Amino acid sequence: MPIILVHPDELPKSYYTAIGEITYKWALIEFLLHDMSSNFLGLDKKTGRVAFFKTNAKEKITVLKTTAHGWIKDQKIAKDAANIAKAAHDLSDERNYVIHGVWGHEATKPKSLRLMYVKEYKQRIMPFAPRTKVSDLRKLLSRIDSLIKEIRQLYVDAALPAP
């Protein structure tokens, strides 16, 4: 039998803090991906901004992946860029679930929050709704922070200008 969720108007403040951090840090990742790809493609800052205006995360990730496989001559740098693209791709769905999902709880368990989202097409009828604690959000943040560090290190290793 499906779980019926109640959707509260407010979440505990600790959830807002974690969700806000995820939102900001993901925006930073998207900016760094676009800036890094612009640099690898030899675009100046203004042209890079025009080229990437209104592109979503998946498109930025694809451009970096393509750039890694065709434009970057140094094999170690190319491999690191491809790994960053893969890591960003792997994290993007989780980020989207947190940012775009709907929170709820069972009527008798208001402190046991669940994050409801549609992971696969067949779930449009019955969305996935795992219990999600602030600690789960913090684990995602830790992985996002690690990706930011990898990106910053690639700027150094590839001798790219600071974003």
The rounded average pLDDT for each run of 10 residues, N- to C-terminus, in the chain (163 residues) is 81 96 98 96 94 93 95 97 98 92 87 78 58 95 98 98 94
pLDDT of residue 39: 96
**Model's pTM, two decimal places?**
0.90
pLDDT of residue 62: 96
Considering the domain boundaries, does residue 145 fall inside one? yes
pLDDT of residue 120: 61
Considering the domain boundaries, does residue 149 fall inside one? yes
Neighbours of 139 (CB within 10 A): 12
Q: Which residues pair with 131 in a beta bridge?
A: 114
Considering the domain boundaries, does residue 8 fall inside one? no
Count of domains observed in the chain: 1
Which strands, in side-by-side order, build the sheet including 5-6? 5-6, 102-106, 114-116
Considering the domain boundaries, does residue 108 fall inside one? no
- Given a contact cutoff of 8 angstroms between Cβ atoms, the answer to whether 22 and 100 are in contact is no
Domain that holds residue 140: 13-100+135-157
